[in-house]
Amino acid sequence: MQVTGFSEAAIRSWLRRIETQLVEFREVDLGYPQGKNEIIPPDGSLDTGRFSAETGIPSTSAVCDFYRLCDGVTLSDVHVGLFIHRAERVMRAMHDGEPTRIEGGPLTAPIAVIGSDGGGGRFAIRTDDAAEVLYLPTGAVHDQVFDGSSSTVRVVADDFLSFLDRLYQDLVAFVKDDQDWRYIV
């Protein structure tokens, strides 16, 4: 499957850097058995047209490039747990009650939930022209609309590639046991 463009090299580089950190991380004694901390390889079945149609994420986006090269990331032991969901889960969530829109508060936008933390918060990408990655803390969802008036929605990255970089930085800080690091959540 062909990767569409500008982000391919950046994502391949990110995947190599994450894998290098995961090798180092496996040597860290957490005081308990480590859970899953891995890059999920693609299975080759991603239909980017279907993914785009179901999620609203453009097929030429860095998100689609990511899913062509990798089918998610599980960092269950990093901080509170950080996850980029599998492509199939992202599509299924669009029909299974996950929010597809934020309303209330200072932001109204269409979104697609692409990941989560271990505490019930969600990572979502705006599917309008902004393409920011947002953090939606645990909060009310009614008819697939996240209530932004009852929970503070934060921009955690200006775009998907910046989001990937931030997850990498969190992994590095966790491996180094950097007590001063401020995690994405």
Q: What is the pTM of this model?
A: 0.94
pLDDT at res. 150: 84
Query: Is the per-residue pLDDT at 84 higher than 50?
Result: yes
Inside any domain, residue 145: yes
Q: What is the CATH number of the domain that holds 106?
A: 3.40.1580.10
Inside any domain, residue 164: yes
Please count the structural domains in the chain: 1
Instruction: Write out pLDDT tens, residues 42-79.
Output: 999 999 999 999 999 999 999 999 999 999 999 999 99
Inside any domain, residue 184: no
Range of the domain at 30: 8-175
Inside any domain, residue 3: no
pLDDT at res. 6: 61
* 176-62-58-92 Cα dihedral, nearest 10 degrees: -40
Query: Is the per-residue pLDDT at 23 higher than 60?
Result: yes
The encoded tokens of residue 144 equal: 């697939």
Counting beta carbons within 10 angstroms of the beta carbon of residue 149, is it exposed (0 to 12), middle (13 to 18) or buried (19 or more)?
Answer: middle
pLDDT at res. 1: 36
Inside any domain, residue 151: yes
Instruction: Write out pLDDT tens, residues 130-169.
Output: 999 999 999 999 999 999 998 889 999 999 999 999 999 9
Structural Rg of the chain based on CA atoms = 16
Inside any domain, residue 26: yes
Query: Is the per-residue pLDDT at 3 higher than 90?
Result: no
